[in-house]
């Protein structure tokens, strides 16, 4: 049995429900550009009639729902670290490529000029100018080796500084996530959705820095661990990452709760930088050192076999490298040779005019080096090839990863993003419904008026 | 499928970035003319370019060696021609002094002529190139012959080694000579002693001595001519070597250009394609979100 007064209360609830719908559309439009915002929808449901003889009791707002794409978000947490790793690797490698120099303008050209100088000396073994030229070119060669080696070291230090910086940002984000978790447990449903949006942004940023695994909490929060299950955030608690200096190199090791997790970090920007710092750059340094070491030792061996202008036995041309490691950065021409170019052993016999040894050293340019089996310039070419393929691989891998992330983002937005057309339609829908309900209200009001007049009559 | 505002903008902006990067790369290719600016552009090409640059360097060094060797051998050749001419002149002078009808003053004149020839020969054998003696073996800083008190010419001061330079891997070429092989060879005395004996014989009218001296001079001419022939062979080998080096240089340079240089026609085509793609992306962006249902609701 419906009555007019019950109708009045039901229609006022209906007006409020349409207003809520309008407000939700307004909220969605307001946040159309907010990062991490998930679109809200209002859930309406018809109220149960008061008794068996009523038609109904209007409408109720059951809730406001955030349209989350949780599965896609979880996939993003896995893909973002890989994308960021490749991006960081590709960026670092493109800088390293640049510092190695173009073919024909770097260490390779210095090697060619160095051997050219010996070939010039072979034409005129007693010429002071030719001898001076050998010294000058040898010094340019050692400077070129020193420079490239120094640049590789500073590239490594640069990557290290960025790793340390990344660790700071990870800790900041961890603290942010923990405080979101804390607020989440005490927040009501409406606030909790906004907090979850913020949490989503923080998790995605974190996934760009380091590979994480995320376990959702019942209240909507998230527990995060890094590097093979070392906790970073559990509820409102954070377990911050720290760095410790690696013995010898002084580079940063990542630690969590005192244990070193560097090798377990393989993703994110930090993972990419670690790969460059610990695997790629040391590989290039070793190749460069090998080249410098074998050039210095084979030239020394050949030089010692000859005789200088005064007929004395040859001395070491380069300061003999102590070890393969660090040979490039330490490469120097012997002080005695720099001081007196006549000490250069051009002759294979004690006769001043002989050029046998200068020819032998000039011919080293086409002689396979001990241990690397290619000639000096081709050994440099092999290093260039290696850096080039690494950079090329990182760049193409990055493109592939970018594509995956873009597609996941598009999929997520299809579920969670705000469509202005949709919101316009929904605005109109609720506005019209409000108008109609208001009309009904005035109809009920008019009916009551009729009743009142009769009574008052 | 729901099309959402943000994703539309993001995709359009990504597209602009991508096409702008392509255009920048195409423009760089055209403006630099280089196919490889970074090793990653073509790792194999970059490492081949390293090898080719070095090969060009080596070929240039060998060419420089060939040029210097040519100058040096030309000087040696000229000097040897001169030596042969001097030795022939000495024979002529000795011939004129032979016979019993000459007066002492005629013999003295012939002897003086021979002495002049000896002095000229002495300076020929001591010829230098860029400060290095050509005919003292590998003792480039030691004169092959010196004069002592009273103009007495010393014995050979050089060594019997020869010196070569490389015109390529395994292409040695001899450029310095054992002077003694020219002046003495297998003979018991050197050409200066021969001339000294000849002068004595001419002064004394010793026809047998003059005859002996002339025979010795014959052998000296043979030895000088032999070395000169060797030098001639070497000079023509140098010509061949220079041609070979020039041809190799052209080959390597062409190969390097194929590796390093952009194909301009296709680079420019690519650039205009990239330009079109970029403009299209910009145009597409301007349309994103320009119309929505909002425009139709009043």
Q: Which residues of B touch A419 (CB under 8 A)?
A: 2-5
For residue A238, the surrounding DSSP H or E stretch is strand A237-238
Q: Is the pTM of this model over 0.95?
A: no
Host H or E run for residue A100: helix A70-100
Give the gap in angstroms from C-alpha A330 to the nearest C-alpha of chain B.
24
Residue A34 to residue A397: CA distance in whole angstroms: 30
Tokens 């073994």 label which residue? A125
Q: What is the pLDDT of residue B185?
A: 86
Average pLDDT over residues A39-58: 86
User: What is the Cα–Cα distance from A217 to A223, expressed in whole angstroms?
Assistant: 7
What pLDDT was estimated at residue B131? 85
**Rg (chain A; Cα; Å):** 38
Give A228's pLDDT tier (boundaries 50, 70, 90).
confident
B4 touches chain A (CB under 8 A): yes
pLDDT tens, position by position, A278-321 = 999 999 999 999 999 999 999 999 999 999 999 999 999 999 99
Q: What is the dihedral of CA A88, A91, A92, A94, to 10 degrees?
A: 150
Give the span between the Cα atoms of A163 and A139, in whole angstroms. Answer: 36
Q: Is B150 exposed, middle or buried (0-12, 13-18, 19+ CB in 10 A)?
A: exposed
CB pairs under 8 A between A and B: 202
To the nearest 10°, report the CA torsion of A221, A215, A417, A24: -30
Q: How far is B220 from chain A (nearest CA, A)?
A: 26
User: Which position has the token pair 């008190």?
Assistant: B149
Q: Which residues in A lie closer than 8 A to residue B5 (C-beta atoms)?
A: 32, 417-420
The pair phi, psi for residue A21, each rounded to 5°, is -60, -45
A107 interaction partners in chain B (CB closer than 8 Å): none
The tokens 């979850």 sit on which residue? Answer: A196
**Could you tell me the two tokens for B276?**
């079109």
Q: Is the pLDDT of residue B176 over 90?
A: no
Q: Is the pLDDT of residue A83 over 80?
A: yes
| A155 and A273 Cβ atoms separated by less than 8 Å | no
Torsion angle (degrees, nearest 10) of CA A239, A92, A409, B279: 150
pLDDT of residue A277: 95
Determine the residue of chain B that is closest to A429 in CA distance: B297
Give the pLDDT confidence score for residue A190 in this predicted structure.
66
Mean pLDDT within A29-43: 92
Which carries the bigger pLDDT value, residue A227 or residue A66?
Answer: A66
Contact A358, A348 (CB under 8 A): no
**Residues on chain B touching A351 (C-beta within 8 angstroms):** 137-140, 159, 161
When mean pLDDT is compared across A46-55, A308-317, A334-343, the lowest value belongs to A46-55
Q: Tokens 């449903």 appear where?
A: A189
Chain centre to alpha carbon of residue A374: 36
Q: Which CATH superfamily is domain B64-255 in?
A: f41 fragment of flagellin, N-terminal domain (1.20.1330.10)
The overall average pLDDT reported for chain A is 91
Q: Which residue of A has its CA nearest to B259?
A: A103
Q: Which residues of chain A neighbour B37 with C-beta distances below 8 Å?
A: 102
Instruction: Look at residue A1 in the predicted model and tell me its pLDDT.
Output: 44
Helix residue ranges per DSSP H, B97-206:
104-125, 179-183, 191-204
Q: Where are the domains of chain B?
A: 64-255
Distance CA A87, CA A96 (A): 14
Residue B139 has a pLDDT of 87
Q: Does B186 touch chain A (CB under 8 A)?
A: no
Quick: pLDDT tens for B71-120: 999 999 999 999 999 999 999 999 988 887 888 999 999 999 999 999 99
Residue with tokens 């942004």: A201
Indicate the average pLDDT of chain B. Answer: 90
Chain B residues whose CB is inside 8 A of the A374 CB are none
Q: What secondary structure letter does DSSP report for A278? A: I
Q: What are A130-176's pLDDT values in tens digits?
A: 999 999 999 999 999 999 999 999 999 999 999 999 999 999 999 99
Contact (CB<8Å) A418/B47: no
The whole-number pLDDT of residue A59 equals 92
Nearest to B39 among A112, A113, A388 (CB): A388
Beta bridge partners of A260: A255
Residue A274 has pLDDT above 60, yes or no: yes
The least confident of A13-27, B144-158, B204-218 is: B144-158
For residue A45, pLDDT over 60 is answered with yes
Q: Contact A276/A294 with Cβ under 8 angstroms?
A: no
Q: Which of A351, A363, A387 is nearest residue B39 as measured by Cβ atoms?
A: A387
pLDDT higher than 60, residue A457 = no
Mind telling me how many Å the CA of B47 is from chain A's nearest CA?
4
Q: Is the pLDDT of residue B298 over 70?
A: no
Token pair for residue A122? 């072979």
> Is the CB of B57 less than 8 angstroms away from the CB of A406?
no
Name every residue whose Cβ is closer than 8 Å to that of residue B174 and which is 6 or more positions away in sequence.
B162, B163, B164, B230, B234
Compute the average pLDDT of residues A8-25: 92
pLDDT at B216 over 90: yes
Predicted confidence (pLDDT) at residue A189 exceeds the cutoff of 80:
no
C-alpha pair distances (Å), B67 with each of A329, B75, B175:
37, 13, 12
Q: What is the pLDDT of residues A231-240, one digit of tens each?
A: 999 999 999 9
């Amino acid at each position: 049995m419906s009555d007019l007064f019950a109708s009045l209360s039901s229609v006022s609830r209906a007006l409020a429900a349409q207003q809520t719908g309008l407000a939700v559309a307004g909220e969605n439009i307001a946040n159309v550009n907010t990062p991490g915002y998930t679109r809200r929808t209002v859930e309406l449901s018809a109220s149960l009639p008061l008794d068996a003889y009523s038609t109904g009791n209007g409408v109720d707002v059951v809730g406001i729902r955030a349209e989350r794409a949780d599965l896609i978000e979880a996939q993003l947490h896995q893909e973002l670290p890989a994308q960021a790793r490749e991006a960081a690797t590709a960026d670092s490698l493109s800088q390293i490529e640049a510092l190695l120099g173009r073919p024909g303008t770097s260490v390779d050209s210095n090697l060619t000029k160095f051997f050219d100088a010996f070939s010039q000396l072979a034409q005129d073994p007693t010429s002071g100018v030719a001898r001076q030229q050998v010294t000058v070119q040898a010094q340019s060669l050692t400077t070129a080796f020193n420079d490239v080696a120094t640049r590789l070291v500073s590239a490594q230090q640069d990557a290290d500084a960025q790793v340390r910086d990344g660790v700071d940002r990870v800790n900041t984000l961890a603290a942010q996530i923990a405080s979101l978790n804390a607020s989440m447990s005490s927040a009501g449903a409406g606030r909790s959705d906004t907090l979850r949006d913020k949490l989503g942004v923080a998790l995605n940023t974190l996934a760009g820095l380091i590979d994480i695994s995320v376990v959702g909490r019942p209240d909507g929060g998230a527990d995060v661990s890094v590097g093979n299950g070392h906790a970073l955030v559990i509820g409102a608690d954070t377990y911050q990452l720290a760095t410790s200096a690696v013995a010898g190199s002084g580079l940063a090791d990542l630690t969590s709760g005192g244990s070193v997790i560097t090798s377990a970090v393989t993703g994110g920007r930090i993972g990419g930088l670690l790969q460059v710092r610990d695997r790629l750059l040391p590989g290039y340094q070793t190749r460069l050192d090998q080249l410098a070491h074998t050039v210095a030792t084979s030239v020394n061996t050949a030089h010692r076999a000859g005789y200088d202008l005064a007929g004395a036995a040859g001395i070491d041309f380069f300061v003999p490298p102590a070890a393969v490691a660090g040979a490039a950065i330490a490469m120097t021409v012997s002080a005695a040779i720099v001081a007196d170019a006549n000490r250069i052993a051009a002759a294979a016999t004690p006769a001043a005019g002989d050029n046998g040894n200068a020819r032998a050293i000039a011919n080293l340019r086409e002689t396979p080096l001990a241990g690397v089996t290619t000639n000096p310039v081709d050994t440099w070419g092999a290093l260039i090839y290696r850096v080039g393929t690494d950079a090329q691989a990182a760049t193409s891998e990055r493109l592939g990863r970018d594509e995956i992330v873009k597609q996941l983002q598009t999929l997520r937005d299809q579920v969670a993003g705000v469509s202005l057309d949709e919101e316009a339609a929904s605005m109109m829908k609720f506005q019209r419904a409000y108008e109609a309900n208001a009309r009904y209200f005035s109809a009920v009001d008019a009916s009551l008026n009729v009743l009142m007049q009769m009574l008052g009559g | 499928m729901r099309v959402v505002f943000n994703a539309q903008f993001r995709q359009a902006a990504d597209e602009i970035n991508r096409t702008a990067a392509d255009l920048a790369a195409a423009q760089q290719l055209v403006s630099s003319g280089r196919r490889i600016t970074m090793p990653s552009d073509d790792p194999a090409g970059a490492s081949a370019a390293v090898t080719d640059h070095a090969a060009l360097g080596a070929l240039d060094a060998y060419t420089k060696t060939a040029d210097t060797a040519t100058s040096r051998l030309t000087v040696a050749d000229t000097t040897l021609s001169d030596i042969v001419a001097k030795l022939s002149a000495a024979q002529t002078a000795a011939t004129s002094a032979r016979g019993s009808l000459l007066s002492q003053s005629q013999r003295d004149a012939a002897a003086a002529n021979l002495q002049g020839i000896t002095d000229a020969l002495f300076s020929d054998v001591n010829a230098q190139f860029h400060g290095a003696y050509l005919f003292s073996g590998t003792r480039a800083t030691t004169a092959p012959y010196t004069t002592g008190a009273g103009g007495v010419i010393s014995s050979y001061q050089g060594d019997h080694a020869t010196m070569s330079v490389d015109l390529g891997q395994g292409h040695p070429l001899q450029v310095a000579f054992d002077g003694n092989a020219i002046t003495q060879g297998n003979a018991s005395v050197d050409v200066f002693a021969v001339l000294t004996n000849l002068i004595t014989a001419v002064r004394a009218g010793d026809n047998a001595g003059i005859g002996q001296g002339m025979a010795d001079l014959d052998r000296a001419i043979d030895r000088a001519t032999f070395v000169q022939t060797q030098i001639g062979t070497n000079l023509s080998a140098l010509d061949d070597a220079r041609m070979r080096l020039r041809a190799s240089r052209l080959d390597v340079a062409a190969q390097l250009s194929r590796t390093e240089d952009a194909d301009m026609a296709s680079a420019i085509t690519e650039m205009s394609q990239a330009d079109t793609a970029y403009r299209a992306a910009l145009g597409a962006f301007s349309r994103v979100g320009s119309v929505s249902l909002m425009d139709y609701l009043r």
